């Protein structure tokens, strides 16, 4: 029996699918676990990639293609990859207003994703999102990507068939003669064919194809004209997709193997960088960069130094780039247990008077609007927390749940290194950066949802 969320995805539940995609977009450990669970149930959906320059009418074309495929009784998943908003970090065209006609169709699931600065026009998680839609039973998954430049060709590594959409009057006659995005097309679509220059653009693409050598059995990309706003030419695009699918069926396994090879290499690169960032001492990477900038070390030697360190060859050897000092441990030990109290005098009567424990001088923590009383117990402590403001987290906790254990605190040597490690693993944090705490410490909280319902505080002493 799989996890509840995986079962919801496999059942095609839209809310479950949306939740699964959100986990993947967050690059959380839970998202990776979900992909592991769903992966054996994938491989049936046909992936159509649609790319092209901005303003080519890709969204409208995808909308029309979806309508044609729905007429044939097929279920559709749409992944629309848009540029990242500089303000929210989300997809700029996240509303996908041009696909609004299908929002009420249970056979269509639409999700916008942001590139988040990822080169290649695709968000890193796009392939995994397509897997979720595949596992949810979608017959066809359409990936519409940004396609803002001739080098943004990652779509060919993510789709079974790639459609390049061009539009007359935007310089595409010259673009058609360039390498990159024009070389990935299995099908060319000249959209907005009612505009002047559509025939000239089609001729430019044909001239480019004439420069290539095709064997008798090779697929020669067709050049189709459409008017997506009216639907003219869209059935011909679907027919071309079907012809390509039939033609390349024997090569489909090879193409998908190449796609998985690329995905594995991409994951390895991403994971290795995460590992390197976790294992390098704080400031070590910046030290190497400074050394390269000062021409004291070359980039290749710096990279070799990092690799040696990650492979366990000991601390990175210091060249003529300046000493960086020893690495600090990121292991955590229990520092104290925080207990929220309503009346600290009653609490002290128990811990101090009844149990005979020593109580340290109370300290006001202005940043958290609490008064802290530490009670040493062996190697750890008990911290009694009394709210000094009605808007403090402790006041709200006591009002909602009553007095009791509020959090546990783990002491670390380098809180920033631990936070970076947690971020790399996709752990949900309350604090992205440390803030001042009691006893001159730096503190940061881990969200209870990531720690099985327990609020965990990280603490670096004497900062």
Whether residue 101 is contained in a domain is answered as: yes
Q: Could you give the CA distance from residue 393 to residue 401 in angstroms, rounded to a whole number?
A: 12
Domain at 99, CATH number: 3.40.50.300
Domain hosting 312: range is: 280-327
Whether residue 368 is contained in a domain is answered as: yes
Q: Quick one: 322 and 355 in the same domain?
A: no
81-107 exposure pattern, b = at least 16 Cβ within 10 A, e = fewer: bbbbeeeeeebbbeebebbeebeeeeb
Q: Quick one: 111 and 47 in the same domain?
A: yes
The pLDDT assigned to 85 comes to 42
Q: Quick one: 71 and 214 in the same domain?
A: yes
pTM: 0.61
- Domain boundary (230, 247, 264) is at 247
Q: Could you give the CA distance from residue 257 to residue 157 in angstroms, rounded to a whole number?
A: 10
CA quadruple 238, 243, 244, 250: dihedral, nearest 10: 140
Count up the domains in the chain and report the number.
3
Q: Quick one: 190 and 308 in the same domain?
A: no
Whether residue 275 is contained in a domain is answered as: no
Whether residue 293 is contained in a domain is answered as: yes
Q: Quick one: 343 and 239 in the same domain?
A: no
Q: Could you give the CA distance from residue 93 to residue 44 in angstroms, rounded to a whole number?
A: 29
Q: Could you give the CA distance from residue 145 to residue 116 in angstroms, rounded to a whole number?
A: 13
pLDDT category, 19, cuts 50, 70, 90?
very high
Place of tokens 């693409």: 205
- Domain boundary (295, 327, 359) is at 327
In this prediction, residues 244-263 reach a mean pLDDT of 81
Q: Quick one: 95 and 121 in the same domain?
A: yes
pLDDT tens readout for residues 304-318: 888 887 776 444 444
Helix (H/G/I), strand (E/B), else coil: 374: strand
The pLDDT assigned to 397 comes to 87
pLDDT beyond 70 at 284: yes
Mean of all residue pLDDT scores within the chain: 81
Radius of gyration (C-alpha) of the chain in whole angstroms: 29
pLDDT tens readout for residues 95-145: 345 565 666 788 999 988 765 444 433 456 788 899 999 999 999 999 988
Among 173-187, 271-285, 319-333, 364-378, whose mean pLDDT is lowest? 319-333
The pLDDT assigned to 92 comes to 43
pLDDT beyond 80 at 249: yes
Whether residue 256 is contained in a domain is answered as: no
Q: Quick one: 343 and 301 in the same domain?
A: no
The pLDDT assigned to 99 comes to 61
Whether residue 258 is contained in a domain is answered as: no
Q: Quick one: 60 and 89 in the same domain?
A: yes
The pLDDT assigned to 137 comes to 95
Tokens found for residue 128: 């995994």
Q: Report strand pairing: 76-82 vs 108-114.
A: parallel
The pLDDT assigned to 272 comes to 83
Q: Quick one: 315 and 338 in the same domain?
A: no
Q: Quick one: 339 and 308 in the same domain?
A: no
pLDDT beyond 60 at 173: no
Q: Quick one: 338 and 305 in the same domain?
A: no
pLDDT tens readout for residues 49-80: 998 887 888 889 999 999 999 999 999 999 98
In this prediction, residues 77-86 reach a mean pLDDT of 69
The pLDDT assigned to 171 comes to 59
Whether residue 259 is contained in a domain is answered as: no
Whether residue 267 is contained in a domain is answered as: no
Task: Give 175's Cβ-side CA count (13 Å radius).
Answer: 21
Torsion sign across C-alpha atoms 198, 200, 206, 211? negative
pLDDT category, 150, cuts 50, 70, 90?
very low
Q: Could you give the CA distance from residue 402 to residue 161 in angstroms, rounded to a whole number?
A: 59
Domain at 437, CATH number: 3.10.180.10
Q: Which residues contact 8 (CB under 8 A, 6 or more apart)?
A: 15, 16, 17, 19, 20
Place of tokens 């060249």: 319
Q: Quick one: 154 and 46 in the same domain?
A: yes
pLDDT beyond 70 at 15: yes
- 48 within 8 A of 143, measured Cβ to Cβ: yes
Q: Report strand pairing: 404-411 vs 333-341.
A: antiparallel
- By C-alpha distance, which of 141, 238, 230 is closest to 187? 238
The pLDDT assigned to 218 comes to 87
Place of tokens 């639907």: 231
The pLDDT assigned to 56 comes to 85
**Beta-bridge partners for 380:** 377
């Amino acid at each position: 029996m799989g996890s509840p969320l995986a079962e919801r995805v496999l059942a095609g539940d839209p809310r479950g699918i949306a939740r699964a995609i959100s986990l993947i977009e967050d690059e959380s450990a839970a998202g990776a676990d979900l992909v592991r669970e769903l992966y054996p149930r994938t491989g049936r959906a046909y992936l159509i990639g649609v790319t092209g320059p901005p303003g080519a009418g890709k969204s409208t074309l995808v909308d029309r293609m979806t309508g044609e495929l729905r007429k044939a009784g097929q279920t559709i998943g749409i992944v629309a990859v848009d540029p990242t908003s500089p303000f929210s970090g989300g997809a700029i065209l996240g509303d996908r207003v041009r696909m609004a006609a299908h929002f009420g169709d249970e056979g269509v699931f639409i999700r916008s994703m942001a590139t988040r600065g990822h080169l290649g026009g695709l968000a890193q998680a796009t392939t995994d999102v397509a897997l979720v839609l595949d596992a949810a039973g979608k017959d066809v998954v359409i990936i519409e990507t940004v396609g803002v430049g001739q080098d943004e060709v990652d779509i060919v590594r993510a789709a079974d068939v790639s459609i390049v959409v061009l539009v007359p009057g935007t310089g595409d006659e010259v673009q058609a003669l360039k390498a990159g995005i024009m070389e990935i097309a299995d099908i060319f679509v000249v959209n907005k064919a009612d505009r002047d220059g559509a025939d000239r653009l089609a001729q430019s693409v044909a001239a480019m194809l004439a420069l290539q050598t095709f064997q008798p059995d090779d697929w020669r990309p067709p050049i189709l004209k459409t008017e997506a706003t009216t639907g003219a030419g869209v059935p011909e695009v679907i027919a071309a997709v079907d012809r390509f699918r039939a033609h390349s069926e024997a090569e489909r396994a090879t193409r998908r193997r190449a796609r998985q090879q690329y995905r594995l290499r991409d994951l390895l690169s991403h994971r290795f960088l995460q590992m390197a960032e976790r294992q390098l001492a704080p400031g070590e990477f910046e030290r190497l960069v400074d050394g390269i900038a000062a021409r004291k070390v070359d980039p290749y030697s710096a990279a070799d130094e990092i690799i040696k360190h990650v492979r366990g060859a000991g601390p990175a050897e210091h060249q003529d780039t300046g000493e960086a000092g020893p690495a600090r441990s990121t292991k955590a030990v229990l520092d104290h247990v925080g207990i929220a109290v309503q009346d600290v005098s009653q609490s002290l009567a128990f811990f101090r008077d009844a149990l005979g424990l020593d109580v340290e001088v109370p300290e006001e923590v202005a940043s958290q609007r609490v008064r802290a009383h530490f009670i040493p117990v062996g190697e750890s402590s008990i911290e009694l927390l009394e709210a000094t403001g009605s808007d403090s987290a402790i006041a709200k906790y006591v009002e909602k749940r009553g007095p009791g254990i509020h959090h546990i605190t783990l002491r670390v040597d380098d809180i920033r290194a631990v936070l970076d490690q947690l971020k790399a693993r996709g752990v949900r944090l309350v604090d992205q950066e440390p803030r001042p705490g009691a006893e001159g410490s730096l503190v940061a909280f881990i969200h209870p949802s990531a720690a099985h319902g327990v609020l965990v505080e990280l603490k670096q002493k004497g900062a």
